[in-house]
Amino acid sequence: MTDWSKVFEVFSSGIIGVFLVMFLLQILTQLSTRVIDFVENGKNGGAPEAVPVPKSSADPAKD
């Protein structure tokens, strides 16, 4: 016999949980990059290295 209350609990807690964790990670990433930008730009007075946007079809990563 399927425990439907458990199914709904797993379903909802899963979706909400993943979003919350990823949102938290997004906020922390944004915060840390801003702090580092502030520290580095204050120290060097220059812009950090840019993420290259490749012109070729070279793979950025391999699996």
Partner 1 sequence: MLDILKELLFSSGVVSLTGGNLVMWLVSFVLLYLAIKKQYEPLLLLPIAFGILIVNLPLTYLMEPEHGLVWFFYHYGIEMDIIPPLIFLGLGAMIDFGPLIANPKTMLLGAGAQAGLYVTFFAAVLFGFDLQEAGAIAIIGGADGPTTIYLTSKLAPHLLGATAVSAYAYMALVPIIQPPMMKLLTTEKERKIVMTKLRPVSKLQKVCFPIITAMTIMLVVPPAAPLISMLMLGNLFKESGVVERLSKSASNELMNIVTIFLGLSVGATMTAGTFLSPKVLFIFFLGLFAFIVSTGAGLIMAKIMNLFLKDKINPLIGAAGVSAVPMAARCVHKVGSEANRRNYLLMYAMGPNVAGVIGTVVAAAILLQNLG
- Residue with smaller CB distance to partner 1, 45 or 62: 62
The Cα angle at residue 30 between residues 25 and 31, in degrees rounded to 5: 95
What residue ranges bind partner 1 (CB under 8 A)? 2-3, 6-7, 9-11, 13-15, 17-26, 28-30, 32-33, 36-37, 40, 47-55, 57, 59-63
Rounded to a whole number of angstroms, the minimum distance from the CB of residue 3 to partner 1 is: 7
Rounded to a whole number of angstroms, the minimum distance from the CB of residue 45 to partner 1 is: 14
Do residues 46 and 37 lie in contact, with contact meaning Cβ atoms separated by under 8 Å?
no
Q: In whole angstroms, give the CA distance from residue 60 to residue 55.
A: 12
Q: Is 51 helix (H, G, I), strand (E, B) or coil?
A: coil
Rounded to a whole number of angstroms, the minimum distance from the CB of residue 10 to partner 1 is: 5
